[in-house]
């Protein structure tokens, strides 16, 4: 086999081997148990002949993004479908969770195993009696905790006592606990604890794009290797969780300044374009996330500059090449793929003529989008 054909064929054999269940449109889609980092390493070895390094570079990203690298066409939606499945794992394990109820409203779900860590906090949490029907039972807050302030303080104290051993990555940042977006807030919860209590979490993600010579380009960030989550992976130009008491538009402006050095005179015209959602169960963690999506057309002359140390670098990439990266690799932080796929739909890069179009479109809101 000629030397230049070997990487092409090896990459082609790896292209769609990701963990997921089949879509209706693709009932025979290939699946495997490769973790994200292992898949990255496989691509990196193929592309750079590295032997033991699983950190990919911008050169790797550019190489895999080119149309000629693989024989797949832009109308093949399988790679997009796989990325959505990666964000919606483990739903067959929902029976392992107890409802978390506040003021007769379900605000989250707590794994029965993790709930054992809360049993000793009898002045904070109330558990179902042992002889109750476990399928319909729930965990509630103690009746003495009648105000949002009292609940925030009491639950916060429990989280502090559990510490990093049980809830890694504590940030001292509060998320609102509510039954749906805009509904009354029952209390506020440490961000890192959100998936352990299965509360709905909201965030904003912004596509920053440029138009040059009739073509669209997306600014893509590469996360710092020092990040505790998804270090070194590709990311949206701007993204962030939605903290308690901050409006979506204000949060976009704030994150634009911190993550990309975009002044408010530019970021204030970012356009809200909808939302994507997903539900992902991983062990004790139950993520129920809704991401509000924004588009911002940037001047050709603008170059982003990270201000908070969370982004290693940025690169301006043709949208068609970004689409290839999404379809072919797991280089992106998983939920970023959903936001970019949504962008591809709205800007006409994914068309109704593509097989599986409606399945894919519907799956962008697989979670409870409320």
Cβ-proximal residues to 158 (8 Å cutoff; 6+ apart), any chain: 118, 121, 124, 125
pLDDT at position 241 is: 96
| pLDDT interval class at 25 (50, 70, 90) | low
**Residue recorded with tokens 């209706």:** 24
- Measuring CA to CA, which residue among 364, 334, 332, 329 is closest to residue 346? 364
| pLDDT interval class at 23 (50, 70, 90) | low
pLDDT at position 45 is: 44
Task: Please count the CA atoms within 13 angstroms of the CA of 105 that sit on its side-chain side.
Answer: 14
> Angle at CA 34, nearest 5°, toward 29 and 39?
100
- Give the whole-angstrom CA distance, residue 252 versus residue 204: 7
Cβ-proximal residues to 209 (8 Å cutoff; 6+ apart), any chain: 216, 217, 218, 219, 295, 296, 297, 298, 319, 343
pLDDT per residue as tens digits for the range 91-117:
999 999 999 999 999 999 999 999 999
Other C-beta atoms within 10 Å of 138: how many? 16
Q: In the predicted model, what is the mean pLDDT of residues 240-254?
A: 96
Q: In the predicted model, what is the mean pLDDT of residues 328-334?
A: 96
Cβ-proximal residues to 257 (8 Å cutoff; 6+ apart), any chain: 263, 264, 267, 307
CA 341 to chain centre: 13
pLDDT at position 24 is: 59
pLDDT at position 16 is: 32
Categorise residue 337: left if φ over 0, alpha if ψ from -120 to 50, beta otherwise: alpha
309 or 129, higher pLDDT? 309
138 or 10, higher pLDDT? 138
- Measuring CA to CA, which residue among 37, 31, 33 is closest to residue 56? 37
359 or 29, higher pLDDT? 359
| pLDDT interval class at 5 (50, 70, 90) | very low
Given a cut of 60, is residue 135 above it in pLDDT? no
pTM: 0.86
Q: Which DSSP string corresponds to 100-164?
A: EEETTEEEEEEEHHHHTTTTT-TTTEE---TTS-GGG-EEEE-TT--SHHHHHHHHHHHHHHHHH
Other C-beta atoms within 10 Å of 25: how many? 17
Question: What percent of the chain is modeled with pLDDT above 70?
Answer: 84
| pLDDT interval class at 133 (50, 70, 90) | low
Question: What percent of the chain is modeled with pLDDT above 90?
Answer: 79
Given a cut of 70, is residue 47 above it in pLDDT? no
pLDDT at position 181 is: 96
pLDDT per residue as tens digits for the range 148-199:
999 999 999 999 999 999 999 998 999 999 999 999 999 999 999 999 999 9
Categorise residue 49: left if φ over 0, alpha if ψ from -120 to 50, beta otherwise: left
pLDDT per residue as tens digits for the range 215-230:
999 999 999 999 989 9
pLDDT at position 131 is: 59
Can you count the helices (H) and strands (E) in the chain? 12, 13
Please state, rounded to an integer, the average pLDDT across all residues of the chain: 87
Q: Which DSSP string corresponds to 198-256?
A: T-EEEEEEEEEEEEETTEEEEEEEEE-TT-SSSTT-EE-SEEEE--TT--HHHHHHHHH
Q: In the predicted model, what is the mean pLDDT of residues 67-90?
A: 93
């Amino acid at each position: 086999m000629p030397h230049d054909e070997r990487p092409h064929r090896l990459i082609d054999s790896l292209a769609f081997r990701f963990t997921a269940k089949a879509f209706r449109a693709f009932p025979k889609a290939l699946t495997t148990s490769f973790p994200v980092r292992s898949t990255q390493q496989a691509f990196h070895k193929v592309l750079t002949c590295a032997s033991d390094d699983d950190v990919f570079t911008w050169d790797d990203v550019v190489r895999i993004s080119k149309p000629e690298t693989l024989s797949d066409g832009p109308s093949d939606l399988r790679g997009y479908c796989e990325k959505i499945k990666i964000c919606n794992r483990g739903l067959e394990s929902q029976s392992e969770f107890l409802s978390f109820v506040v003021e007769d409203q379900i605000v989250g779900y707590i794994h029965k195993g993790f709930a054992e860590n809360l049993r000793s906090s009898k002045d904070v949490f109330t558990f179902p009696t042992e002889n109750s029907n476990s399928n319909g039972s729930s965990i509630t807050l103690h009746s003495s905790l009648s105000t949002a302030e009292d609940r925030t303080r009491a639950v916060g104290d429990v989280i502090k006592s559990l510490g990093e051993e049980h809830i890694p990555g504590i940030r001292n940042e509060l998320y609102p606990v509510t039954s749906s977006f805009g509904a009354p807030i029952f209390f506020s919860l440490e961000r890192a604890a959100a998936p352990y209590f299965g509360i709905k979490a909201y965030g904003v993600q912004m596509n920053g794009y440029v138009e040059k010579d009739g073509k669209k380009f997306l600014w893509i960030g590469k996360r710092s290797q020092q990040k505790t989550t998804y270090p070194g992976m590709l990311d949206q130009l701007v993204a962030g969780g939605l903290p308690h008491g901050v409006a979506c538009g204000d949060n976009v402006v704030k994150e634009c300044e911190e993550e990309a050095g975009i002044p408010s005179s530019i970021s204030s015209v970012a356009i809200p374009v909808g939302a994507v959602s997903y539900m992902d169960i991983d062990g004790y963690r139950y993520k129920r996330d809704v991401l509000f999506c924004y588009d911002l057309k940037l001047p050709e002359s603008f170059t982003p500059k990270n201000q908070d140390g969370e982004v290693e670098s940025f690169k301006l990439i043709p949208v068609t090449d970004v689409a290839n990266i999404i379809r072919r690799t797991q280089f992106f932080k998983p939920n970023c793929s959903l936001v970019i796929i949504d962008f591809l739909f709205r800007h006409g890069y994914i068309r109704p003529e593509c097989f599986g179009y409606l399945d894919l479109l519907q799956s962008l809101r697989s979670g409870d989008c409320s």
